[in-house]
Amino acid sequence: MTRTLNLSFNQNIFLFLIAISTGVLTAINPGLSLLVIALISITILILYEKNIWKYGVFIPLLGLSLWSYGFNNIPLIRPLPLVDALAWFAVLSSLPLWWKLTKFPLVKKFLVLLTLLTVVAIIRIIIDTPKYGLLAPRDALFVFELWTIFPAMLLGYKYGEKKVEKLIGILFIISTFWFLLYPLREFIIAISPIVGIQRPVPLFTFTTAGFLSIPAFFWFLNRKGLLGILGTSATLIIILMVQSRGVYTAFFLSLILSFLIRPALIKKLKYLVISGIIVFSFVLILGNAITGRLGLGIGFNTIIEQLATLIGREGPGAGSFQFRLIAWLSLINQVLNNPLGPFIGLGLGKDLFLDFMVGPDVYVRKPHNDFLEIWARFGIVGLLPWLGILMLSFKTSLNRTIKNPDNLWVLALQITLLVTAIGQPAMAFAYITIVWVSLTGLWIGSQLRFRVV
């Protein structure tokens, strides 16, 4: 329950003056005006919103879903991103509430696995920070971001399945519309303010669009009428523009598995055929005029050429894939050559990507394979609980999807994460970790009401 905000005439005048002053301040000092607005908003929320912790889930989820890397780069206190501070505010402030959900065996399993992983991470931070400085805790941020699953579960449990379905649908609709603006990306970036260290609107310069568009596709696939047709068509066009091997692989795997576990989905083929005709027509007319993430025209040939690089053929991104294979083999050798490496890892902060640089003194450090990286940094003692979290999420979504095809989107979300984690540093960035764990947590919480997970 929230309190009713009843303001007197004088209070209204006061708020009006604050609004005018903030507007003037915006013209003089935009950064300071944002701080003033944030303080006023936080004050009002604290006074009149009982469940303020839920904004620690919603704001990072929405911000990271739409503004990706740019939103993640907004600092609170360097090097702590604002999204991480909000996420942990949600975790700690709602602790007495989500702790009650541990009465469910599934929630207790997540808690045990995540606690084990966190203990390993804290020990490694203590050991490695003196040697590598802030790079060490930075490499472990994903562990603490995973705790967002608990306030997300609490929200899902409070809202129930129908409201969660509606909220996630709104997110998918907004993000799909936003990603369709990619052809206008240069104009949008040009008129956007610089927040943090860059303009916070890279659209899908990185991986967020591909990561979200796959579960969004399956959400739209379960919608009837015009929304379903337009939604599946739009997400297919976005997937074409993303131009990513991992996205294509995750999409086809999700599609195949969905039809295998729910043969009744054959009834949805008419929507796929209609969407396919729309997308084919779009590509035929505008394919060469619109370039995707790699600067290539969108088309079906790009998909074939990129996927062919997985079996050694030449094509877009073939060089980067070959470099990763070399880096992965080198990393495996490094770990195996260390007597305790396979068990406790090489540590946090260490460069694991053959000194690859993207700018002066800017090392990538990430081997673009989360399975290898987490094993290399934490050893088996950290890899096993992390794998347990992923497998528990996948198994839960698979079981529920078999019984109810409306959950196809969350199964596709798990597959997309697993595939992304093989070829990208997914857990290195909040725009994958927090988005995945928040959506998964919201869905699990909504299912807990049925006591079937």
pLDDT at res. 86: 87
CB atoms within 10 A of CB 179: 25
Model confidence at 259, pLDDT cuts 50, 70, 90, reads confident
Check pLDDT > 90 for residue 52.
no
Task: Give tens-digit pLDDT for 318-328.
Answer: 567 777 888 88
Model confidence at 266, pLDDT cuts 50, 70, 90, reads low
CB atoms within 10 A of CB 43: 10
DSSP conformational letter for 74: -
444 alpha-carbon distance from chain centroid = 16
Report how far residue 163's alpha carbon sits from residue 357's, in angstroms, rounded to the nearest whole number.
Answer: 45
pLDDT at res. 370: 94
Element (H, E) at 75: strand 75-77
pLDDT at res. 409: 94
pLDDT at res. 90: 92
Q: What is the largest CA-CA distance in the chain?
A: 74
Model confidence at 2, pLDDT cuts 50, 70, 90, reads very low
Q: Which of 428, 368, 438 is nearest to 72 (CA)?
A: 428
Tell which phi-psi region holds residue 77, choosing left (phi > 0), alpha (psi between -120 and 50) or beta.
beta
- Sequence-distant (≥ 6) Cβ neighbours of residue 242 within 8 angstroms: 204, 207, 209, 210, 213, 292, 293
Report how far residue 284's alpha carbon sits from residue 388's, in angstroms, rounded to the nearest whole number.
Answer: 45
Task: Give tens-digit pLDDT for 271-314.
Answer: 777 877 887 787 777 767 777 777 777 777 777 776 766 666 66
pTM, full prediction: 0.85
- Return contacts of 291-294, CB within 8 angstroms, 24+ apart: 292/182, 292/240, 292/241, 292/242, 292/243, 293/204, 293/205, 293/241, 293/242, 293/243, 293/244, 294/243
Report how far residue 277's alpha carbon sits from residue 283's, in angstroms, rounded to the nearest whole number.
Answer: 10
400 close to 205: Cβ distance less than 8 angstroms: no
pLDDT at res. 217: 94
Instruction: Report the number of secondary-structure helices (H) and strands (E) in the chain.
Output: 22, 4
301 close to 278: Cβ distance less than 8 angstroms: no
Report how far residue 15's alpha carbon sits from residue 1's, in angstroms, rounded to the nearest whole number.
Answer: 24
146 close to 84: Cβ distance less than 8 angstroms: no
pLDDT at res. 5: 44
Model confidence at 443, pLDDT cuts 50, 70, 90, reads very high
